[in-house]
Amino acid sequence: MTKSPDAFRTISEASDELGVPQHVLRFWETKFTFIKPMKRAGGRRLYRPADMDLLRGVKALLHDEGVTIRGVQKLYREQGQARIVGAVTGAALAVSPALQPTAPPPSAPLAPSGPDKARLRAVLAAVEAAKRRLDAAL
């Protein structure tokens, strides 16, 4: 029987759906203050759909993109929850027109800044992690 996407998940259901052990989910709760499942009497965790989206984003950043725990914490501090959830979909964050950078003058060097710089660092970290895995395999 498959649960509705809007249904709450127990820790074992969340663990199965994400493909990570239950103790990893508990560990992530200690490292990432933004992961706050509901707790019933007796301490039983229930993950809301929004919690599952965050967990998918954390997993994608840590496991797929090779971002460190501190890196995920920094992304959350600097770019918010939408960046963590967007890691799964690859969705770019919407930026208000007033905050969008203007084109640099022709003589200015093209250097990334702000979200672009963070995105490039995340890509670099993913490439370095892939290189380490390849080196270890060889």
Q: Does the domain formed by 9-92+115-137 have CATH 1.10.1660.10?
A: yes
Give tens-digit pLDDT for 77-104. 998 888 888 887 665 443 333 333 445 5
For β-strands 38-39 and 45-47, DSSP reports them as antiparallel
Which segments in the chain show pLDDT lower than 70? 1, 89-115
Confirm if 120 and 112 have CB atoms less than 8 A apart: yes
CA dist., res. 40 & res. 36, Å (int): 12
Query: pLDDT > 90: what percent of the chain?
Result: 40
> What pLDDT is recorded for position 24?
95
pTM: 0.62
> What integer pLDDT is reported at residue 11 of this predicted model?
94
Question: Which pLDDT belongs to residue 2?
Answer: 73
Q: What is the pLDDT of residue 97?
A: 38
| DSSP β-ladder status, 9-10 and 38-39 | unpaired
Q: What is the pLDDT of residue 36?
A: 93
> So what's the pLDDT on residue 101?
42
| DSSP collapsed to 3 states, the chain | CCCCCCCCEEHHHHHHHHCCCHHHHHHHHHHCCCCCCEECCCCCEEECHHHHHHHHHHHHHHHHCCCCHHHHHHHHHHHCHHHHHHHHHCCCCCCCHHHCCCCCCCCCCCCCCCHHHHHHHHHHHHHHHHHHHHHHHC
Tokens of 28: 């992530």
